[in-house]
Amino acid sequence: MLVSAMHITAGIWVNDNEQGILADAMEFLEELAPFKSDYRHHRTGEDNGDAHLKNLLIHHQVIIPITKGEMDFGPWQTIFYAEFDGRRRKRVVVKIMGE
Protein backbone atom coordinates (compact mmCIF):
# COMPACT_ATOMS: atom_id res chain seq x y z
CA MET A 1 0.00 0.00 0.00
CA LEU A 2 1.40 3.36 -1.09
CA VAL A 3 0.63 6.38 1.06
CA SER A 4 1.78 9.52 -0.72
CA ALA A 5 1.27 13.16 0.28
CA MET A 6 0.22 15.57 -2.45
CA HIS A 7 2.08 18.51 -0.96
CA ILE A 8 5.78 19.19 -1.30
CA THR A 9 5.95 20.73 2.14
CA ALA A 10 4.60 17.62 3.83
CA GLY A 11 6.22 14.45 5.06
CA ILE A 12 4.94 10.94 5.64
CA TRP A 13 6.70 8.41 7.78
CA VAL A 14 6.26 5.40 10.01
CA ASN A 15 7.24 5.45 13.64
CA ASP A 16 5.95 5.00 17.15
CA ASN A 17 2.93 7.06 18.20
CA GLU A 18 4.60 8.28 21.38
CA GLN A 19 4.41 11.98 22.16
CA GLY A 20 8.04 12.22 23.27
CA ILE A 21 9.34 10.78 20.00
CA LEU A 22 7.09 13.12 18.03
CA ALA A 23 8.36 16.16 19.93
CA ASP A 24 11.97 14.93 19.60
CA ALA A 25 11.46 14.41 15.87
CA MET A 26 10.01 17.87 15.29
CA GLU A 27 12.87 19.46 17.28
CA PHE A 28 15.37 17.37 15.35
CA LEU A 29 13.98 18.47 11.97
CA GLU A 30 13.92 22.07 13.13
CA GLU A 31 17.62 21.82 14.04
CA LEU A 32 18.58 20.27 10.71
CA ALA A 33 16.38 22.50 8.55
CA PRO A 34 15.50 25.56 10.61
CA PHE A 35 12.79 28.08 9.83
CA LYS A 36 14.72 31.18 8.81
CA SER A 37 14.30 34.14 6.54
CA ASP A 38 17.19 33.84 4.13
CA TYR A 39 16.39 30.82 1.95
CA ARG A 40 16.75 31.58 -1.74
CA HIS A 41 13.27 30.21 -2.24
CA HIS A 42 11.92 33.21 -0.35
CA ARG A 43 12.77 35.52 -3.26
CA THR A 44 9.60 34.13 -4.80
CA GLY A 45 7.60 35.67 -1.97
CA GLU A 46 7.22 32.39 -0.09
CA ASP A 47 8.47 31.92 3.47
CA ASN A 48 8.42 28.15 3.71
CA GLY A 49 11.91 27.18 2.53
CA ASP A 50 12.42 25.16 5.69
CA ALA A 51 9.31 23.08 4.97
CA HIS A 52 10.72 22.07 1.58
CA LEU A 53 13.97 20.94 3.19
CA LYS A 54 12.12 19.02 5.90
CA ASN A 55 10.16 17.29 3.15
CA LEU A 56 13.44 16.43 1.44
CA LEU A 57 14.64 14.64 4.59
CA ILE A 58 11.39 12.89 5.46
CA HIS A 59 9.96 12.36 1.98
CA HIS A 60 6.37 12.37 0.96
CA GLN A 61 5.56 8.69 0.91
CA VAL A 62 5.74 5.31 2.55
CA ILE A 63 4.96 1.84 1.29
CA ILE A 64 3.28 -0.47 3.74
CA PRO A 65 3.29 -4.20 3.09
CA ILE A 66 -0.15 -5.84 3.31
CA THR A 67 -0.78 -9.53 3.89
CA LYS A 68 -4.27 -11.02 3.82
CA GLY A 69 -5.84 -7.56 4.00
CA GLU A 70 -3.93 -6.44 7.09
CA MET A 71 -1.03 -4.02 7.25
CA ASP A 72 2.11 -5.96 8.10
CA PHE A 73 3.14 -3.65 10.86
CA GLY A 74 5.76 -4.48 13.41
CA PRO A 75 5.27 -3.42 17.02
CA TRP A 76 4.35 0.26 17.33
CA GLN A 77 4.59 1.06 13.64
CA THR A 78 2.13 3.86 12.86
CA ILE A 79 1.81 6.12 9.80
CA PHE A 80 2.30 9.86 10.33
CA TYR A 81 1.59 12.83 8.09
CA ALA A 82 3.16 16.18 8.95
CA GLU A 83 2.49 19.42 7.12
CA PHE A 84 5.65 21.44 7.73
CA ASP A 85 4.21 24.60 6.20
CA GLY A 86 1.46 24.58 8.77
CA ARG A 87 -1.25 26.09 6.67
CA ARG A 88 -2.16 23.74 3.91
CA ARG A 89 -5.03 21.36 3.65
CA LYS A 90 -3.70 17.83 3.96
CA ARG A 91 -4.12 15.67 0.88
CA VAL A 92 -2.90 12.17 0.46
CA VAL A 93 -3.14 9.47 -2.20
CA VAL A 94 -3.48 5.88 -1.02
CA LYS A 95 -3.03 3.07 -3.54
CA ILE A 96 -3.27 -0.64 -2.99
CA MET A 97 -0.98 -2.54 -5.35
CA GLY A 98 -0.79 -6.24 -6.08
CA GLU A 99 -3.47 -8.88 -6.04
Q: Which amino acid is at 87?
A: R
Q: Is 39 in the site for its own copies (CB under 8 A)?
A: yes
| Minimum CB distance to its own copies smaller for 24 or for 86 | 24
* Helix axis angle, 49-58 to 19-32, nearest 10°: 120
Among 16, 47, 81, 83, binds its own copies (CB under 8 A): 16
Dist CA 14 CA 21 (whole Å):
12
Among 5, 47, 79, 86, binds its own copies (CB under 8 A): 5
Residues 6+ apart with CB under 8 A from 59: 11, 12, 13
Question: Running DSSP on this structure, what letter comes out for residue 54?
Answer: H
Q: Binding residues for its own copies, per CB under 8 A?
A: 2, 4-8, 13-16, 18-21, 23-25, 28, 32-33, 39-44, 49, 52-53, 55-65, 67, 72-77, 91, 93, 95, 97-98
